[in-house]
Amino acid sequence: MDNSTPPSNRLAMNFGYRGYVNEGNGLYFAQARYYNPEIGWFVSEDTYKGDVWSLQSLNWYVYVENNPVRYVDPSGYFPNPYIGTSKT
């Protein structure tokens, strides 16, 4: 895609990664919080305050401990390592 194309002429994408809905305001609704792809963070803190044994979980603004390949977050509250992965 040519970066000089005005945003109004671009194809509107309503769904983002993991099927989160684009609200039309530049934010994606991820079940419990809004994600801002411009900054790569959620716009509010996670209610799950993390685990001291997993330092990435202590950052309350990131998606699934910065590891979307390994984890998903279907509830919007905390990462789940079992959904969307397979054992080999």
pLDDT of 69 strictly over 60: yes
Give the Cα separation of 74 and 59 in Å (integer): 18
pLDDT of 11 strictly over 50: no
Supply the range of the domain harboring residue 57. 7-66
Instruction: Pull the structure tokens for residue 34.
Output: 């809004």
In a domain, 74, yes or no: no
Query: Residue range 19-46: average pLDDT?
Result: 78
Half-sphere exposure of 15 (CA within 13 A, CB side): 2
> In the chain, how many domains are there?
1
**Burial classification of residue 18, based on how many CB atoms lie within 10 Å of its CB (0-12 exposed, 13-18 middle, 19 or more buried):** middle
In a domain, 76, yes or no: no
In a domain, 72, yes or no: no
Q: What's the Cα-to-Cα distance from 67 to each of 14, 56, 81, rounded to whole Å?
A: 23, 9, 10
In a domain, 29, yes or no: yes
In a domain, 23, yes or no: yes
pLDDT of 75 strictly over 80: no
In a domain, 36, yes or no: yes
In a domain, 87, yes or no: no
Q: Say what the pLDDT of residue 17 is.
A: 56
In this structure, the number of other CB atoms found within 10 A of the CB of residue 29 comes to 15
In a domain, 47, yes or no: yes
pLDDT of 10 strictly over 50: no
